[in-house]
């Protein structure tokens, strides 16, 4: 069993340097993450950190690329583009406001923030609720139940033909 992959951000060091760190997430990353919604992808995460005040940091992420997820109809992969900007606020342990969805906490004197799950969840939230191929692009393994509606016409035709022959 592979261990969960991490995207570790050294908050103090990155705030001090003011640099942007870049992380590439590939099929191996999504495969190792304990999830089943994404079958793979090619994503670049660019993160920068600003010290707001005291031990409070602001982490800006740009998430860009594409991911693959099973089609709701045929279960073969559909590819979706991803382009997300997200800002997290990081507080010392116990100090994050409870009503702020984007607030995180980090313990210790040299706080490290792991972005892996935040990036994953941001990607999932950016995808449409219904994940399907464009009409006609589905794979062969479409379960019959989804074809029934369009099959009705074909059935009628077959009946007519059978009548004609009789």
- Interface positions with Zn ion (CB under 5 A): 71, 73-74, 133, 138
Residue closer to Zn ion (CB basis): 97 or 136 = 136
Question: What single string gives the DSSP state of each residue in 46-98?
Answer: EEEEEEEETTEEEEEEEEEEEEEEE-TTT-SEEEEEEEEEEEEEEEETT-S-T
The distance of closest approach from Cβ of residue 80 to Zn ion in the complex, given in angstroms and rounded to an integer, is 13
The distance of closest approach from Cβ of residue 84 to Zn ion in the complex, given in angstroms and rounded to an integer, is 24
Angle at alpha carbon of residue 11, lines to 41 and 4, rounded to 5° = 40
Residue closer to Zn ion (CB basis): 89 or 133 = 133
The distance of closest approach from Cβ of residue 144 to Zn ion in the complex, given in angstroms and rounded to an integer, is 14
Residue closer to Zn ion (CB basis): 78 or 90 = 78
End-to-end CA separation in angstroms for the chain: 63
The distance of closest approach from Cβ of residue 38 to Zn ion in the complex, given in angstroms and rounded to an integer, is 16
> Shortest Cβ contact with Zn ion: which residue?
71
Residue closer to Zn ion (CB basis): 122 or 138 = 138
Show the tokens assigned to 117. 């799950």
Question: What single string gives the DSSP state of each residue in 116-144?
Answer: HHHHHHHHHHHS-SS--PPTT---TT--G
Burial class (CB in 10 A: 0-12, 13-18, 19+), 100: exposed
The distance of closest approach from Cβ of residue 16 to Zn ion in the complex, given in angstroms and rounded to an integer, is 48
Residue closer to Zn ion (CB basis): 50 or 133 = 133
């Amino acid at each position: 069993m592979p261990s969960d992959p991490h995207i570790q951000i050294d908050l103090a060091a990155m705030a001090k340097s003011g640099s942007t760190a870049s992380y590439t997430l590939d099929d191996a990353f999504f495969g190792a993450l304990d999830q089943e919604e994404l079958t793979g992808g090619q994503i670049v995460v660019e993160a920068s950190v600003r010290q707001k005040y005291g031990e409070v940091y602001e982490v800006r992420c740009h998430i860009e690329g594409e991911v693959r997820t099973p089609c709701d109809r045929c279960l073969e992969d559909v590819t979706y583009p991803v382009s997300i900007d997200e800002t997290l606020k990081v507080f010392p342990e116990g100090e994050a406001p409870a009503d702020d969805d984007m607030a995180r906490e980090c313990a210790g004197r040299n706080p490290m923030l792991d972005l892996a799950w935040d990036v994953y969840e941001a990607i999932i939230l950016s995808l449409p609720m219904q994940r399907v191929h464009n009409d006609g692009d589905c794979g062969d393994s479409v379960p019959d139940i989804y074809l029934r509606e369009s099959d009705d016409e074909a059935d009628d035709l077959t009946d007519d033909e059978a009548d004609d022959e009789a």
